[in-house]
Amino acid sequence: MRAPAGRSGVLGHSRAVRLLMVNQLTINVGFYMLMPYLAGHLTGDLGLAVWVAALVLGVRNLCQQGLFLVGGSLADRVGYKPMILAGLALRTVGFGMLGVVEGVPGLIVASALTGLAGALFNPAARAYLAAEAGERKVEAFALFNVFYQTGILVGPLAGVLLNGLAFRVTCLTAAGLFAVLGIAQARMLPARRGSRAGADGSVVSDWRAALTDRAFCQFALAMTGSYVLGFQVYLSLPLAAPAQATWIFVVSGAMAMLGQLRVTKWAQSRWSPGQAMSRGLALMALAFALPGIAATGLPGLATPAATGPPAALSGSRAAALGGGDGAMAVAVIAATVLLTLGSMIVYPFEMATVAGFGGDRVGTYYGLYSTVSGVGTALGNVLTGVAMEAGLAWWGLVGVGLGSALAVHLLYRSRHGISTERVEPAADTG
């Protein structure tokens, strides 16, 4: 049953959309209460070598990113709800195993299951949301991001409390959360037929259609830069100002929670989707100019009380990042604000655009899009590390973002798949 078309906000959407919001919130709370602390558990509690811990964590990422396309296509063929439920079941088993298994083979299996789970429910949830939201995709994905970011903010805080008892308690709590969510979604989430259910041709033909969609592939590659920049809240920004690491996540999460809908409505009323994405990407790029300027030590930016680079950094990397002094700390927080604002502008239009490309293969397209962005982010992180050593980290990131903005702008100008019309925000009738 669809909600009244004249309302905006969560209550203005159908029951299915509201349940998908709760689904994503709970998934992120469960995931982030555990995963940030898993490496410490593996190397500390279990005494594994760092390379073994990296292998366990890498298996999860490989399984998730590598199988997104499979999960998305299965969602189109089998249905969105079955894939969401299968993913929740696998995440329940995987997280439970992480809490009780101590041998490396068992840990690798558990990590693989958690990655496969994400590959199943992530594209299915987004495809379901796009199909259910209809013409209100942009607003729906803006709301989705609010719940998504809230989970990222709440999850680690819950993890800190539970880890005070034992990491096993954290794992079993997260597993229980996924189990309860799965049961609730099985009972309450309406079934929705996959967009390719009963269609002629094989899954391989769906993959071929997506891979040969030149405009879509160009768009996916162009948008990879946004994921490289977004990942810097985990990489270069905390390294540049270690004492501000917590504030980076607090500022980013709070902005998305409190301002996403307002920012989206503002952008909808002024720009087309292509304009919103290219300008949002440019803003994300310019965010890294601030720590870049601070790192040069221009007059008025250096602080006499600077105590040198943080202990975790040395040599050219410390010089490239600016040494962690007071000016850099301010620049990093300011960069976080601009980076988050740019991401808030981009994300809803980006997700709606992917759905527009996908048509009746929307799950497949979301799956391929996630795979491309995941591979691009991994490669981008390696290049960012190289840039740190070369003293080009900040300005290299500015260049990546501006390059992505230009590429999206050119796609917009060529009118290949990106709408040139503004989509007016829904009226708020209370």
Domain final residue, candidates 193, 220, 239 = 193
How is residue 158 written in tokens?
């819950």
CA distances from 168 to 38, 118, 240, 398 (A): 10, 21, 33, 42
- Please report, for the domain that includes residue 263, its CATH number: 1.20.1250
Q: Within a domain: residue 295?
A: yes
Residue in the structure block whose two tokens are 């803003």: 283
Is 120 in the same domain as 93?
Answer: yes
Is 159 in the same domain as 228?
Answer: no
Is 219 in the same domain as 129?
Answer: no
Count of CB atoms situated within 10 Å of the CB of 113: 22
- Please report, for the domain that includes residue 57, its CATH number: 1.20.1250.20
Q: Within a domain: residue 198?
A: no
The per-residue DSSP string of 286-300 comes to: HHTHHHHHHHTT-TT
Is 105 in the same domain as 124?
Answer: yes
| Strands (E) located in 116-261 | none
Query: Of 223, 231, 227, whose CA–CA distance to 278 is shortest?
Result: 223
Is 45 in the same domain as 181?
Answer: yes
Query: If DSSP codes are grouped into helix, strand and coil, which group holds residue 427?
Result: coil
**Which pLDDT tens digits describe the chain residue by residue (430 residues)?**
444 445 557 777 888 999 999 999 999 999 999 988 888 889 888 998 888 888 888 888 889 988 999 999 999 999 999 999 999 999 999 999 999 999 999 999 999 999 999 999 999 999 999 999 988 999 999 999 999 999 988 998 898 889 888 999 999 999 999 999 999 999 999 998 877 887 878 889 999 999 999 999 999 999 999 999 998 888 888 888 888 877 888 899 899 999 999 999 999 999 999 999 999 999 999 999 999 999 886 444 444 334 344 444 444 444 445 554 788 999 999 999 999 999 999 999 999 999 999 988 999 999 999 999 988 888 888 888 788 777 788 999 999 999 999 999 999 888 655 654 555 555 443 3
Is 36 in the same domain as 138?
Answer: yes
Count of CB atoms situated within 10 Å of the CB of 57: 17
Burial 275-301 (b: 16+ CB within 10 A, else e): bbbbbbbbbbbbbbbbbbbbbebeeeb
Residues in contact with 212: Cβ distance below 8 Å, sequence separation at least 6, in sequence order: none
Is 223 in the same domain as 188?
Answer: no
The DSSP secondary-structure symbol of 43 reads: I
Is 327 in the same domain as 420?
Answer: yes
Residues in contact with 349: Cβ distance below 8 Å, sequence separation at least 6, in sequence order: 138, 267, 273, 276, 277, 280
Query: Of 75, 109, 80, 92, whose CA–CA distance to 31 is shortest?
Result: 92
Q: What Rg do the C-alpha atoms of the chain give, in angstroms?
A: 21
Domain final residue, candidates 193, 224, 251 = 193
Query: Of 137, 130, 121, whose CA–CA distance to 74 is shortest?
Result: 121
Is 154 in the same domain as 215?
Answer: no
Domain that holds residue 99: 1-193
User: Is 370 in contact with 223 (CB distance < 8 Å)?
Assistant: no
Q: Within a domain: residue 135?
A: yes
Could you give the number of structural domains in the chain?
A: 2
Please name the residue ranges forming H helices in 231-325: 236-240, 245-270, 273-287, 289-295, 315-321
